[in-house]
Structures are given as structure tokens and as C-alpha cells.
Structure 1
Amino acid sequence: MTASTRATALRKRLDGPLKLAISLALMALLLRAVHWREIFAVLTHIHAGWFALALLLFQLGVLVRAARWQILLRAGGVPAPLALLVRWYFIGSLFNTVLPTGFGGDAVKTVALGRYAGRPGVVLGSVLLDRFSGMAMQMPIGIMALLLAPGAASPTVGWLLGLLFGACALIVLLMARRDWALALQRRFPAVARVKAGQILLDAIPTYGLRPLLASFGVSLIFNALLIGLNICLGLAVGAAIPWRYYLIFVPLISVSLVLPSFGGLGVREFSYMALFTQVGVTPAAAAAMGLLFYAVTMGGALVGGILYLTPAAWWEPAPDSRSLGVEQP
């Protein structure tokens, strides 16, 4: 075993415990800033109806994201049935919740569908683009809210949202223009040496503009559900604030969840506190919103666990090997 291989193996072993330690440390800091009894008092008096609606919107969001994934897979030549994709999206929610990373479910979906279709490269590219398109379409929503209500957020929040919007717009242009992507690769060769960067440069431009626009359109529907879900959580804890703040804050919270943590725990709650306390929400209520969102994801993980233990014969019809470009034995 070479030194680089040993270093990689050691890094993988330490990755999970490190992220768990980060989440525990952030939760400890959170409980120093807000006493747990205050958060508990908010959680024990939530409006059950609004929380139930948030749970429903999360489940609908999984169906919408599965439809978006199907669009990208079809563009890559993998016509997987929607029932199969819904199943693995729910199972992905399970692994995103129980593994010490917000991307564990992506790996599970990639391996499962890669074996099903026999084209793991196309599946991996679709999973990465599916994740990106959902996040990218949140930025225009936040920018539009800032334009309609310039004083709705602090200048720092506005600049951060603008930078993220610019970065996402650049990536979309690179997806649509193969020659631009190749020019970037020549100018910054380090991008191609990173596995994720190589996939973005080589796989994504092959989808074409129409599937990209279709996936972004579906992402708008999903983001509307996500914002509606957060509004329900705010109403559940008694945070009666204008809806435009959710248009600005929800995209930033989503981006914060890429930071290392155990399923977003700690990072999510601090993000809710840092943003929503700016508009009059109490720290305890803001932290409770973050914890309730985690509870909502646990609901999706429960469905994923049931599906994971359920025989998949009627969920997974055999692929048409001719449509997948696989030779018959």
C-alpha cells in the first residue's frame, strides 16, 4: 500500500468521526447561546397542523426531485421508470440522514442505479447535476426577493446571495457552451484533475440545453415546495414573518448544508438562528425551526427505511437492455 493510499484510507476513517464531532460541538455552542428549556418550550407548543403540512410537502418534494432526475437520466440514455427513482430517492433520504454527510444518499443512488442500468458514469453525472440544479434555481428566487424588497436582508446577506447567484450562472453557461468549458479546462487544468470537476466538464455539456432547462423548471417547483415547507415550520413555532424573508433565507440555508456535519445537524440550526433572528424571530424559535426541519427529513428517512426493507420486485421492472445500449447475452 502506497503512502497516498494509506493517507486516503486514513482520511476516510476520520471523515465520519470528524463530522460527528463538528455537529456535536456546534450543538453544544447552540445550547450555550439558547437554553435547551427555551427550545423545548417552543417544540412542545408547536402547531401540529402546520407541522403535518410540512411533512406532506417534504414527501411531495421527493416525488418532484425523482421526476427531475428522470429527465436527466433520459437525456443520458437511461430511461429508468419513475417508481424506481422515487424508491431510491427515499432510500437516499435515509442514508443522507444516518450517514455523517449530506451526500451519502447520492452515493447510494449512484451505485444502485448504476448496477441497474449498467452505466454508472451517466448515473453519477445525473446525480451531480440533479443536486446542482436544485440548488442553482434557489438563487434567482432570492435575488428576485431582494429586488422586490431591497431592505429585507442585511447587505452581507445580499452580497453573499449575489456571489452564489453569479457562480451558479457561470456553471450553467459552461454547461450550455462546450467550447467555454474546454477553454476553462485549458486555463485552469486543476479543475479537470478533480473527479467532480472532470465530470462537470465532460458529462454535463452532453445533456443539451433542453433537458437542462426542463430540469431547472422542475427545480422551481421543488423550491416552491421547500419554501412552503419552511413557511409551515415558521407558522408551527409562531414565527409570523413576511414570506419574502423565506425567499432570501432558504437558499442560504441550503448552501450552508454542504459544510461538514452529521446530516447537517448543528450547521442547519445555526443557519436558522443567524438569519431568522435578524427579522424578529427569537433564537429559541429559530433553533426550533431547524430541529423541526431535521424531524421532517427523519420522516422521509422513515419512508426510505421501509422501502429499503421491502422486496423491490414490483418497484424495479427489468430494464430494456436495447434501450440502455447493453448487448443481449
Structure 2
Amino acid sequence: MKNWRTWAGVLISLLCIFWLVRGTNPRVLYDTLRRTEYQWLIPVVLLYAGGMWVRAVRWQLLLRSSGSVDLGRLFRWSNIGYLINNLAPLRLGDVLRGYLCSEGAGINLVSVLFTLVVERLADVVALVLILVALLPRVDLPTRYLAPVLWIALAAAAAVAVMILVAVRPRWSLDWFDRLARRFPALDRPWLRRAVHSAVKGLAVLGSGNSVAGVLGWSLVAWLAAGLQYYWTARSVGLALPAPAALLLVCLTSLGMVVPASPGSLGVIESITVLTLALFGVGREVALGYALVLRAVSYVTLFGLGLVSLWSEGIDLQHLRQALARPTKQQGDTERE
């Protein structure tokens, strides 16, 4: 199943790249890249690093029910995870940073992984809220709204279930017990431990202040991303209005739910070209802008990731072992 998803993602990325290349004038694209004023990218790099720090603060808040975790280490683990997400398929970087946190902070792996699920859902909710606020300012075609609506409904349903579990943990565990009695295949020690750990990982959502804090930090992170997009547009000579930059952040980020190669290569660029066309931006200028965004993202992620690997004392061999251990642990647990 994982191999199928990987190859489907690669195929989608290749199709997007083919579509981009086929209709692009290389000379105009080259001129766009040549005119880039790289001094405008300095604040973009700083904003990117700041956004990663904000995400680490949010993660610390989500882990509060499991204990106190050093913010600096969470920042470094996040950097390592995002680096691997851009190199490996199936978001293995998220599994890796969950494992590093579990090992480094002594927290159950399932509890940590459920905080990452909450992170993703909080991101979707924040993006949808920003998009709703932008609707009076931008003329968005209906074909863009339908998939966003479905994603929003799915995220809202998942968040509601998680908050219910957090508010009524005992009821949730009793419900699983009844389900296990009805279906004996579910009545296994490893699965019971996993369910208890999952409920513990969601405990932070039982507090209204914590929910507001998680959502608030998510909004700060995405507004910082909007500033990154805005300043990058300045670097390529594109007078992109602030609402357009935020709209682009929302659509490209929500578009990452589409299966693709690591880093959503080709998919993000295609969404960027299509979205900027709504504002009268030519294909080559839009693609040049997307490529500069990609380059800045990669340079910053690789820089932060490599420094974090060095700070944590993780070399290539340790990295491979760490990537293999969560899968091995899961297999060992399921055999119990």
C-alpha cells in the first residue's frame, strides 16, 4: 500500500512538472530568475526560521500533558523532521521527529504521534479561517472552493472527535472496552496500550485555553508564511497584494494533501501558477516566483536541519537507524 502511494505521488508530480514545462517560455522564465533581487530574501529566511520556532512553541503546548520538554530540542527535532519530509516519501520526517521526541523526552511514542496529528488538523483549521477571512477581498472561482470545503468539513469532524475524547477520556476508554468485547480481534494488550497513549496525547485539547493557544500559534505561523510569500514576490519584482500572498499560502498548503513526491515537487508550483493567473500574473513570472520560493525553502530547511542534526549528535548512520526503529517497534508490538 505504501509503495502504491509513493508511486502515485511520483506520477502526479511528474504530470505537474510536464504541464509546467510544456507551456512555459524558457527565455522569459530565465529573465525572471535573472532579475531576482536576492537581498529581499534575507527577511524571508528569518521569517522561515521564526515560523519553525513558533511551531516548536505550539508543539511544546501540545506535549504539556505528557511532561515538560525543552523548547530548544523541540525546535531541533522539528527542523530534522521537516528536512526528512523534503527528502523521503510518506512524511517519514513526522515519524522521525516523533521518535526523537519519544526517545529524548521519555514520552510514549503513540502519545507524541497523536500530538503531530493534532498539529496537522490545527494547521488545516487555521488555513480555512484565513481563507474565509480573505473571501470578501479576493474573487475565488467555485472550482477552488469545493475541495477546500470538503477538507474543512473533514478537519472539523476530526477535531470535534478529538476534543470529545479529550473532554471525556474515561467515556472514550469505556467505549473502546465495549467495542473490544464485541470484536475480540481488538482485545489485544498492545492495542489497549496504544489507545490509552492516544487518549493521553489528546488530553491537552480538554482545556479551552490550550485549544485557543494551539490555534493561535497556528495562525501566527501561517501569517508569517504569508509574509514570506509577500517578500519573495518583491524579490522577483512582482507587486503581489498581501491578500493574494495569503491566498497563495492557503491554497498551496491545503494542496499538499494531494499525493506527490517528497516536498510536493511540481504540485506546489502548479498551484502557484494557477492561483497567480487569477491576479493576471504571467505563467513564466509565476513559475519563476514559485522556483525562488522552493529554493529559499530548501536552503533554509537544509541549513536548519543539518545544524540541528549536528547539535543533536546525529550522523547518517544514526539517522537511518532512527528511521527504521519506529516501524520495527510497531511490528514488535503487534506481535505481542
TM-score range, shorter-chain basis? 0.7 to 0.9
Contact 1:174 1:205 in 2 (8 A): no
Q: 1:162 to 1:248 in 2, by over 3 A?
A: farther
Mapping of 1:279-290 within 5 angstroms? Answer: 279-290=279-290
Match of 1:206 in 2: 203
Mapping of 1:317-328 within 5 angstroms? Answer: none
Give 1:19 shift.
3.4
Q: Output one character per residue of 1:10-52: Cα deviation in whole Å (capped at 9) or x when no partner.
A: x445654553444233212210021333322211211212222
Give 1:133 shift.
1.1
Contact 2:110 2:197 in 1 (8 A): no
The match for 1:57 among 10, 29, 47 is: 47
TM-score, normalised to structure 2, is 0.77
Quick one: distance in 1 between partners of 2:72 and 2:266? 33
Which residue identity is paired with 2:9?
Answer: K
Match of 1:307 in 2: 308
Match of 1:166 in 2: 153
Contact 2:255 2:268 in 1 (8 A): yes
Match of 1:230 in 2: 229
Quick one: distance in 2 between partners of 1:170 and 1:311? 38
Match of 2:109 in 1: 120
Quick one: distance in 2 between partners of 1:65 and 1:38? 37
Unaligned runs of 5+ in 2: 179-185, 315-336
Quick one: distance in 2 between partners of 1:222 and 1:69? 12
Quick one: distance in 1 between partners of 2:249 and 2:55? 17
Q: Tell me the secondary structure at the aligned position of residue 257 of structure 2.
A: coil
Mapping of 1:184-195 within 5 angstroms? Answer: none
Is 2:141 aligned against 1:141? Answer: no
Mapping of 1:230-249 within 5 angstroms? Answer: 230-249=229-248
The match for 1:99 among 81, 84, 88 is: 88
Match of 1:40 in 2: 30
Contact 1:92 1:108 in 2 (8 A): yes
TM-score, normalised to structure 1, is 0.78
Relative to total residues, which structure has the larger helix share, 1 or 2?
2
Q: Tell me the secondary structure at the aligned position of residue 237 of structure 2.
A: coil
Q: Tell me the secondary structure at the aligned position of residue 264 of structure 2.
A: coil
Quick one: distance in 2 between partners of 1:116 and 1:72? 16
Identity of aligned residues (%): 24
Quick one: distance in 1 between partners of 2:146 and 2:281? 22
Q: Output one character per residue of 1:47-90: Cα deviation in whole Å (capped at 9) or x when no partner.
A: 21222221211111000000000000113x13110010011111
Q: 1:173 to 1:16 in 2, by over 3 A?
A: closer
Give 1:176 shift.
2.5
Give 1:285 shift.
1.8
Which residue identity is paired with 2:230?
Answer: I
Match of 2:258 in 1: 259
Q: 1:199 to 1:33 in 2, by over 3 A?
A: farther
Give 1:132 shift.
2.1
Q: 1:83 to 1:234 in 2, by over 3 A?
A: same
Quick one: distance in 2 between partners of 1:258 and 1:138? 13
Which residue identity is paired with 1:215?
Answer: V
Q: Tell me the secondary structure at the aligned position of residue 217 of structure 2.
A: helix
Is 2:67 aligned against 1:78? Answer: yes
Q: Output one character per residue of 1:134-165: Cα deviation in whole Å (capped at 9) or x when no partner.
A: 2320111110111x32x522233244444433
Coordinate RMSD, CA, aligned? 3.2
Which residue identity is paired with 1:303?
Answer: L
Quick one: distance in 2 between partners of 1:88 and 1:204? 18
Quick one: distance in 2 between partners of 1:204 and 1:33? 48
